[in-house]
Amino acid sequence: MSAVLTHFNYVAVIVLMMGGLYILLSTGNLVRRMIGLAIFQTSTGLFYISLGKVSGGTAAITLDAVSAEGQALAARAGAEQVARYGVEGVIYSNPLPHVLILTAIVVGVATLAVGLAIAVRLREAYGTIETDEIQALDRVLTAAGQVEPAP
Amino acid sequence: MADALFWAGGGLAAAGALLALIGALGVLRFPDVYTRIHAASITDTGGATLMILGLCLISGLSLVTLKLVLVWVFIMLTSPAAANALANAAYSAGHTPWIGSFRIMQDNRKGGSR
Amino acid sequence: MTGYIPGFDANLALDAILLVMLVVIVAAIAATHRMLSAVILMGLYSLVSAVWLVVMDAADVAFTEAVVGAGVSTIVLLGAILLTRGAAAKVSGRRRFLPAVLALGVGAILIYATLDLPDFGDPASPANAYVGRAYLEATGNDMGIPNVVTAVLSSYRGFDTLGETVVIFAAAIGVAIMLGFGERAMADRTIEPLAGGPADHHVVLRVAAKLLIPIIALYAFYVQFHGDLGPGGGFQAGVILAVAVILHALVFGLKDTMAAVKPKFARGVAALGVLLYAGIGVTCIVNGGGFLDYDHLFPRHIEAQIPDWILGPADPAHPHHWGQHFGIMAIELGVLFTVAATMVTIFYGFAGRSMEAPQPGAPRSGAA
């Protein structure tokens, strides 16, 4: 039971990640692929955040241990835990994964936009964003001598 | 006193959650766009208002309460506008209300049968 | 490992419920063929994961995910499906089989690998006990700002964040190269807004937006300058500011927005942000420190001139770290500029493309 409880987060995040991978691979539609990729990317972030969570901790914004919030947190976590893992009397979650993922999310949407822009241009050039149809069209055009064959 | 406020606030928040659940059920069960918007707006107005009121009671008189009130004002500004935009889009797209369009209702009243 | 097993509390229950919701949403995205449904579900996925991130104490990340995921990325995806039109082709069972097997196989291997990971929430795990704790312990003395996430983001790992900012700027260039800046849409005189006409159905929306846009912009600046003290900072504020501009474009029409925030202005600001960030770094070098070493941001004699009333009187135990305070504020401002202007530029690219109405359909090479 405890193994289920202690690793549930990791398993759930991996299920999300594989969901993204499946969406990515099971379709030829480029926009749908970008959606799958975005899910994959976000779930990686969720995994990092899961690793950085500390039981009984709070957000990594330092607060006074003697304030009401500090007292409430300490009461919830227990004196022994606070003494062992707290920083100046308060337990915080790990801020480092938060930093990494915060920037990754914004970079993620910027790169998503680049990918979608490529899909838009492909649609304008080929009239479709299904990879199969694009490849078929390429073959036809190459056979007709309208475009140079790919190197 | 603080305990009473906590429980009162918790009760209000729970009531708000219940309203949100009813709203969600309505979105799933109602027959057409317009009635679904109606159900969803219960979540926005009733549910959110009760929850924020409950949280205000729990937090007492502090900066948090002021922020909660601001959140409430923001919801009251956005959610009716969003519901209006949704209904507008549905109307423009030619969705007929489940009970029939206004003209059909008038015709029915004249004809007396439906 | 210390054998530390987290108790089953309300937080953990909430965590489990939200993760299950996320899994259901991803399953729904995998099941649908309608692109619009998939995009809306993506927005929902972002909102639910933002709530989950709050439960995980990642307030800053939740903030970012809520604004980026439900705001900008949904709009960019909507623009893309508008320009590419149509549902995804139905894929045959055979073509679904291999990806499913692959995903299941990789998933099984990864889940097997997690058995070696420290327990969820273990405070003694290597990641939490050493490097994360070191940042938490050092920030108070090094910088004197409460938000450790901001401290790590903009000072300890400032070089990394500069890299991220440049990547975002590069993405803006990439989108602009492929889709243009959307300026031709503004030159196109045939697109007239419907305001006031009999076909104007958007009066309510317009009034609400008029009320909201200044509040959203003001809130962006609150998030920006409150980033040292609470959740917030340049990334979140930049996206919020961009959302204010995008909302204006959605309600009042692209042309009016482009008259107010010119595409030329947007791309200039994007470049200015990166320049400001890197310029702060170089200033630190000039004044005798390393790149982005804010303690050397001001020369000593100038630092001595800074009046104490800004932060209250200093005492030997808690010096003021003026360089850190001003350095972090300045580079966050650079991030704000770049992120906001990039998001606006990307939006202009997609929206301008759809207004030009290139009418995708026939292949350009005329091979019909």
pLDDT tens sequence across A21-42: 999 999 888 999 999 999 999 9
State residue A19's pLDDT score: 95
User: Domains in chain C: how many in total?
Assistant: 2
**Residue of chain C whose alpha carbon sits nearest to that of A94:** C132
| Residue B44 with chain C: CB contacts under 8 Å | none
Q: Which amino acid does the sequence have at A89?
A: G
Residue of A nearest to C46 (CA): A42
Range of B82's domain? 2-111
Q: Which segment of C40-44, C160-164, C186-190, C253-257 scores lowest on mean pLDDT? A: C186-190
Joined tokens for residue A73: 């947190």
Domain stops at, among C68, C100, C124? C124
The answer to whether the Cβ–Cβ distance between C61 and A45 falls below 8 Å is yes
Residue type, C178: M
Of the listed ranges A111-120, C307-316, C353-362, the least confidently predicted one is C353-362
Identity of residue B24: A
Closest-CA distance, B104 to chain C, in angstroms, reads 22
Q: Are residues C153 and C190 in the same domain?
A: yes
Instruction: Report, as an integer, the average pLDDT of B70-86.
Output: 88
Q: Residue C310: its pLDDT value, please?
A: 75
**Domain membership of residue C98 as a residue range:** 1-124
pLDDT of res. B104: 62
Instruction: Please indicate, yes or no, whether residues C181 and C306 belong to a single structural domain of this protein.
Output: yes
The mean pLDDT of C266-276, rounded to a whole number, is 94
C with A: 3 or more CB pairs under 8 Å?
Answer: yes
pLDDT score at B101 = 67
CB pairs under 8 A between A and C: 338
- By C-alpha distance, which of B41, B39, B34 is closest to B91? B34
Q: Which of C71, C103, C124 is the last residue of a domain?
A: C124
ipTM of the shown complex: 0.91
Q: Are C263 and C345 in contact (CB under 8 A)?
A: yes
B and A touch per CB criterion (3+ pairs under 8 A): no
C312 and C224 both lie in a single domain: yes
Q: Which amino acid type is present at position A87?
A: V
Q: Is C202's CB within 8 Å of B92's CB? A: no
Q: How confident is the model at residue A57 (pLDDT cuts 50, 70, 90)?
A: confident
Of the residues C81, C100, C124, the one at which a domain ends? C124
pLDDT at C361 over 50: no
Domain membership of residue C62 (yes or no) is: yes
Question: What domains appear along chain A, each with residue ranges and CATH number?
Answer: 1-53+97-151 (1.10.287.3510), 55-93 (no CATH)
**C367 neighbourhood in chain A, CB within 8 Å:** 137, 140-141, 144, 146
Average pLDDT over all residues of chain C = 85
Q: Please choose, from the candidates A60, A80, A79, A61, the residue with its C-alpha nearest in 3D space to the C-alpha of residue A71.
A: A79
Q: Do B78 and C208 touch (CB under 8 A)?
A: yes
Residue C7: pLDDT over 70: no
Report if residue C180 sits inside a domain: yes
Report the pLDDT averaged over residues C176-191.
74
Give residue C185's pLDDT: 67
Going C118 to C122 to C125 to C131, the CA torsion angle's sign is positive
Q: Is the pLDDT of residue A70 over 90?
A: no
Instruction: Report yes or no: C268 and C186 within 8 Å, Cβ to Cβ.
Output: no
C205–B77: do the CB atoms touch at under 8 Å? Answer: no
d(CA A100, CA C191): 43
Question: Which tens digit of pLDDT belongs to each residue from A93-147?
Answer: 999 999 999 999 999 999 999 999 999 999 888 888 888 888 898 888 888 877 6
Q: Kindly determine whether residue A127 and residue C363, on different chains, have CB atoms separated by under 8 Å.
A: yes
C24/B contact by beta carbon, under 8 A:
no
Q: Which residues contact B65 (CB under 8 A, 6 or more apart)?
A: B56, B59
- Nearest-CB residue to C358 (from A31, A53, A124): A124
Helix (H, G, I), strand (E, B) or coil at A29: strand
Q: How many domains does chain B have?
A: 1
> Which residues have a Cβ under 8 Å from the Cβ of B47 and sit 6 or more positions away?
B16, B17, B19, B20, B23
Q: Give which of B114, B1, B112, B9 is closest to B58, Cα–Cα.
A: B9
Quickly state the pLDDT bin for C188 (edges 50, 70, 90): low
Chains touching chain C at 3 or more Cβ pairs under 8 angstroms?
A: A, B
3+ Cβ–Cβ pairs closer than 8 Å linking C and B: yes
Token pair for residue A110? 């910027």
Span B26-69, pLDDT tens digits: 999 988 888 899 888 888 788 899 999 999 998 888 888 999 99
Q: Which residue has the tokens 């766009």?
A: B33
Residues from chain A that touch C38, judged by Cβ atoms under 8 A, are: 32, 35
> A73: number of CA atoms within 13 Å, CB side?
27
CB–CB of C146 and A46 under 8 A? no
Give chains near A: 3+ CB pairs under 8 A: C
Q: Return the percentage of chain A with pLDDT > 90, whole number.
A: 42
C3 pLDDT higher than 70 = no
Mean pLDDT (whole number) for C70-77: 90
- The confidence score (pLDDT) of residue C359 equals 47
C254 and C149 in one domain? yes
- CA distance linking residue C344 with residue C26, whole number of Å: 28
SS3 of C124, please? coil
Residue indicated by tokens 């969901």? A19
DSSP secondary-structure letter at C24? H
Closest CA to A11 of C111, C104, B93, B45: C111
Q: What is the pLDDT of residue C245?
A: 94
Residue C345 belongs to a domain: yes
Contact assignment for B81 to C215 by CB distance below 8 Å: no
For residue C16, being part of any structural domain is answered with: yes
